[in-house]
Amino acid sequence: MADKYRSNAGAILRRNDGQILMCHKVNGGDYPWQFPQGGVHCEESVEQAMWREISEELGLENPRELCRLVDRGPPVCYPFSEPKGEYVGQRQTLFVLDFLGSESQFDLDHERNPEFDAFRWVTLEASLELLVPAKRPVLRRTIDAV
């Protein structure tokens, strides 16, 4: 059944005070807050996809200079609320990064159709409440592993 889960990479950006970045998805429904994340293209690794997603979704020009990779959690499968094409869910790997830049370096409007329209820094506990319930085990397993 694993091939029915789309490979996905996400990023937990952490400030020096321990708060983590949550982004508000445009037309996000009941649970609009999430981490920068997205599907893994066939020609890239999960880590490469994570760096690409940070660049695309947050508008960071040099994410590898502004973020220090700390660790990654295990891949965790979760179901979609409704199947999307050939996939019934995602196999998500979350990466933990220390954010070394400043908020002014985020440019959520740099793409033609932005993914996010706002962001905020929250505690780990608050992020668990903001995330769609299906993704909470991914975050818990990542935090337990790193």
- Residue-wise pLDDT tens digits, 9-34: 999 999 999 999 999 999 989 999 99
Number of domains, the chain: 1
Question: pLDDT by residue (tens digit) across 60-88?
Answer: 999 999 999 999 999 999 999 887 889 99
Residue 5 pLDDT more than 60?
Answer: yes
Question: pLDDT by residue (tens digit) across 85-128?
Answer: 899 999 999 999 999 999 999 999 999 999 999 999 999 999 99
Boundaries of domain holding 92: 2-145
Collapsed DSSP state (helix, strand, coil) of residue 143: helix
Q: What is the CATH number of the domain that holds 35?
A: 3.90.79.10
Q: What is d(CA 83, CA 37) in angstroms, rounded to the nearest whole number?
A: 18
Q: What is d(CA 102, CA 66) in angstroms, rounded to the nearest whole number?
A: 9
Q: What is d(CA 144, CA 42) in angstroms, rounded to the nearest whole number?
A: 29
